[in-house]
C-alpha cells in the first residue's frame, strides 16, 4: 500500500493462493472488516471477501523496512528487544531525550517512522512489558495508548482473562468454568488456589491480574529454534510420498540455519506433521547437527501415529542456550 497508492482502500491480503492451500500471512484493515485474519486459510478469506486482492510475500522488502525501523528505535535506547520484523519492546527509562518522557519519545518515534519509512506504527506506553503490549494493541491502526502507573490497577481489573500473556483457549475455558472472566475475578483467588489449579501458570495469573510483570527488556534474546515447513496443494497419501519431499525441506532448513548461524548450537531435531484431519503430531530426538536420515526416521514415527494423508510437513532444530562470549557459567 505504501509503494502502490492504487492498493489503498482495497481489501488486501498477503499470502498463498486459495487453490493451493495458501494461508493469510497478514492483511490490511479493509480486509479485517470482513473477519479475515492472519493464519486463516486463503480459501476461507476469499469466501468472506470475493473481491479480496491477494499478493505474494516480499520478504526482502519487509526485512529492509524492519532494519530501518529498528535503527530508529536504537537512536533512543540500546535496550530494544525485537519480537518479529515489525514489533519490539523498548526500555526508555534511561533515555535523556525529550526530558525522558516515554510518551513524547513514542510520539517522536511514530512520527519519524512515518516520515522516514513511509509506514505507520502503533505504540503502547506502560510501566512493564505485559501492559505495553496490551496498550500497543488498544488503538490500532496508527494509534498510541498510555497507561500511567496510577492507572494500572483500574485498567487491569477490567481486562478479560484472554488478554493475559500465556492464556490460550484451553486455559481461558478452564478459568471460565471456575467463574473467572476478568482480572478482577482472578484477584479473588489466592496464590495457593491458583497454583493448585494451574501449576506454575498460577503464579503468572496471580501477578499479571495485578498488573505486575518483572521481565526485563532483553536486547540479546536468543533464538530457540529454526524451522521450515510446507503445506501441500494435495495431501501426500502415504509415508513414501512424504519421504520424497524431505530432501527439499532439508536443504531449505540447512540454508536457513546457516543464515542464522544456528548450526553450532543444535541440540535437538524435530519434525511436525499436520494430517488431512488437521491433527498435528511432533516427534523429536537429541542431535547435535541436522541429519536427513534422522529426519526420515522421525517422519516414519510420526506418520505411524495416525496413518492418514499429510497436508503439511515441518522440519526444525531446537537450539541450546548460549553464554555470552567470554562469560563462564555461575555453577
Annotated binding site for Mg(2+): 3, 86
Closest CA to 73 of 188, 282, 219: 219
C-alpha 128: how far from chain center:
19
Compute the Cα dihedral for 81, 213, 144, 23 and give only its sign: positive
CA–CA dist 203, 104 (Å, integer): 34
Name the residue with cell 553450532: 264
Q: Verify whether residue 193 is a known catalytic residue.
A: no
User: Could you tell me which residues are beta bridge partners of residue 23?
Assistant: 41
CA–CA dist 127, 102 (Å, integer): 10
Q: Residue ranges for the binding site?
A: 3, 86
Burial track 282-310 (b if 16+ CB lie within 10 A, e otherwise): ebbeebeebeeeebbebbeebbeeeeebb
The three cell numbers of residue 102 are: 516515554
Name the residue with cell 532483553: 218
Percentages helix, strand, coil for the chain (3-state, rounded to 5) are 40, 20, 35
Active-site annotation holder among 30, 60, 87, 284: 87
DSSP assignment letter at 216: P
DSSP state letters, 159-213: SBGGGSTT--HHHHHHHHHTT--BHHHHTTS-HHHHHHHHTTHHHHHHHHTTT--
Closest CA to 164 of 191, 139, 201: 201
The three cell numbers of residue 26 are: 497478514
Which residue numbers are catalytic? 87
Amino acid at each position: 500500500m505504501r509503494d502502490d497508492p492504487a492498493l489503498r482502500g482495497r481489501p488486501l491480503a498477503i499470502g498463498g493462493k486459495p487453490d493451493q492451500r495458501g494461508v493469510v500471512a497478514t492483511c490490511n484493515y479493509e480486509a479485517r472488516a470482513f473477519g479475515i485474519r492472519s493464519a486463516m486459510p486463503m480459501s476461507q478469506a476469499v469466501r468472506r471477501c470475493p473481491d479480496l486482492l491477494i499478493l505474494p510475500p516480499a520478504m526482502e522488502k519487509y526485512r529492509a523496512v524492519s532494519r530501518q525501523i529498528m535503527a530508529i528505535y536504537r537512536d533512543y535506547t540500546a535496550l530494544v528487544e525485537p519480537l518479529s520484523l515489525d514489533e519490539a519492546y523498548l526500555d526508555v527509562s534511561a533515555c535523556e531525550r525529550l526530558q525522558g518522557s516515554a510518551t513524547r519519545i513514542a510520539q517522536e518515534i511514530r512520527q519519524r517512522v512515518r516520515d522516514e519509512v513511509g509506514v505507520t506504527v502503533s505504540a503502547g506506553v506502560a510501566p512493564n512489558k505485559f501492559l505495553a503490549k496490551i496498550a500497543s494493541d488498544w488503538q490500532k491502526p496508527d494509534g498510541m495508548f498510555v497507561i500511567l502507573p496510577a492507572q494500572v490497577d483500574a485498567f487491569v481489573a477490567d481486562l478479560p482473562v484472554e488478554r493475559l500473556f500465556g492464556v490460550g483457549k484451553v486455559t481461558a475455558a478452564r478459568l471460565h468454568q471456575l467463574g473467572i472472566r476478568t482480572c478482577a475475578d482472578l484477584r479473588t483467588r489466592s496464590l495457593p488456589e491458583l497454583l493448585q489449579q494451574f501449576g506454575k501458570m498460577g503464579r503468572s495469573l496471580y501477578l499479571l491480574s495485578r498488573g505486575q510483570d518483572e521481565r526485563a527488556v532483553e536486547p540479546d534474546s536468543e533464538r530457540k529454534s529454526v524451522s521450515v515447513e510446507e503445506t501441500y496443494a494435495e495431501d501426500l497419501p502415504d509415508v513414501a510420498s512424504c519421504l520424497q519431499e524431505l530432501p527439499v525441506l532439508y536443504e531449505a532448513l540447512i540454508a536457513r540455519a546457516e543464515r542464522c548461524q544456528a548450526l553450532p548450537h543444535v541440540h535437538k531435531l524435530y519434525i511436525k506433521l499436520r494430517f488431512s484431519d488437521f491433527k498435528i503430531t511432533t516427534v523429536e530426538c537429541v542431535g547435535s547437527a541436522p541429519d536427513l536420515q534422522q529426519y526420515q526416521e522421525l517422519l516414519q514415527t510420526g506418520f505411524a501415529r495416525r496413518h492418514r494423508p499429510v497436508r503439511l510437513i515441518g522440519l526444525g532444530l531446537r537450539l541450546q542456550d548460549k553464554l555470552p562470549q567470554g562469560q563462564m557459567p555461575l555453577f
